[in-house]
């Protein structure tokens, strides 16, 4: 009996958004149970549903998966978005881990105390334009193909599109020196499942606002 995956998180991007993106890109319908209060998280933890008392948690195929990477790996493998062999997987992993590092820096900005924000934004912009975007532009340049790995869509194209949209939200001029990344952004955005996810009314979350950060602080106690 295969029901839809159920995502447990608060109603915001955080560490669940990349999972929403991947499921959507794979054309997989999913449900969400939102944590609205610290009590909701405590209840889930006390239930024994959370291996490390943390979310994201995704109920899928009779399992309660936790840990963002474990969840992403499972979905990517199940829906054939993880390359055709070990070497492609290695490239996908190398590129994905860099994207996750960049996303982590963005998350740090979101949750940082006000007096540290400016410094962290500066660091984020620096790493984006000097470390990460050049690395992915170089990959695309090296093979001239439409996708990052193996000349077909894999998970890392989705992860990259997601982070490029965040870079654009931060400062659209950051993308200017990277023509191949801009082209990839357009191409992947036009894929039917992705296009649908980008429409208003999908399960995609908007940038976090101050109120959401406060809610998240209460639920996650940071």
Residues that bind other proteins (CB under 8 A): 14-15, 51-54, 61, 63, 65-70, 73-74, 77-78, 86-87, 89-91, 93-94, 96-98, 101, 104, 107-108, 111, 131-132, 135, 220-222
Query: CA distances (Å), 12 to each of 56, 126, 208, in order?
Result: 11, 26, 7
Q: How far apart are CA 115 and CA 62, in angstroms?
A: 45
CB 89 to other proteins: min, Å: 7
Output phi, psi for 151, to 5 deg.
55, 25
C-beta of 69 vs 143, nearer to other proteins: 69
CB 78 to other proteins: min, Å: 6
**Degrees to nearest 5, angle at CA 194 with 35 and 21:** 30
CB 216 to other proteins: min, Å: 8
Output phi, psi for 57, to 5 deg.
-135, 135
CB 201 to other proteins: min, Å: 28
C-beta of 25 vs 56, nearer to other proteins: 56
CB 200 to other proteins: min, Å: 28
C-beta of 2 vs 172, nearer to other proteins: 2
Please compute, for residue 215, the number of CA atoms within 13 A of its CA located in the half-sphere on the CB side. 17
CB 20 to other proteins: min, Å: 17
With CA atoms as reference, report the closest residue to 136 among 73, 179, 81, 187.
Answer: 179
C-beta of 147 vs 191, nearer to other proteins: 147
C-beta of 136 vs 197, nearer to other proteins: 136
> Which 3 state secondary structure label does DSSP give 131?
helix
Contact yes or no for 81/154 (Cβ under 8 A): yes
User: Sign of dihedral through CA atoms 139, 192, 154, 98?
Assistant: positive
C-beta of 197 vs 212, nearer to other proteins: 212
């Amino acid at each position: 009996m295969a029901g839809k995956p159920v995502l447990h998180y608060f109603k915001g991007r955080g560490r669940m958004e990349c999972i929403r993106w991947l499921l959507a890109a794979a054309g997989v319908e999913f449900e969400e149970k939102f944590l609205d209060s610290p009590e909701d998280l405590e209840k889930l933890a006390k239930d024994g549903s959370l291996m490390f008392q943390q979310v994201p948690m995704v109920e899928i195929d009779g399992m309660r998966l936790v840990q963002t990477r474990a969840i992403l790996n499972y979905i990517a493998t199940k829906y054939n978005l993880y390359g055709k062999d070990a070497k492609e997987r290695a490239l996908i992993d190398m590129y994905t881990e860099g994207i996750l590092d960049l996303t982590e820096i963005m998350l740090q900005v979101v949750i940082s105390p006000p007096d540290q924000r400016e410094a962290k934004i500066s660091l984020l912009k620096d790493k984006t334009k000097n470390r990460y975007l050049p690395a992915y532009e170089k990959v695309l340049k090296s093979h001239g193909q439409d996708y990052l790995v193996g000349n077909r869509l894999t998970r890392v194209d989705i992860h990259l599109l997601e982070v490029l949209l965040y870079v654009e939200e931060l400062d659209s001029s950051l993308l200017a020196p990277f023509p191949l990344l801009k082209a990839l952004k357009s191409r992947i955005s036009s894929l039917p499942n992705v296009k649908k996810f980008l429409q208003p009314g999908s399960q995609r979350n908007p940038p976090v606002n101050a109120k959401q950060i406060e809610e998240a602080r209460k639920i996650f106690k940071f």
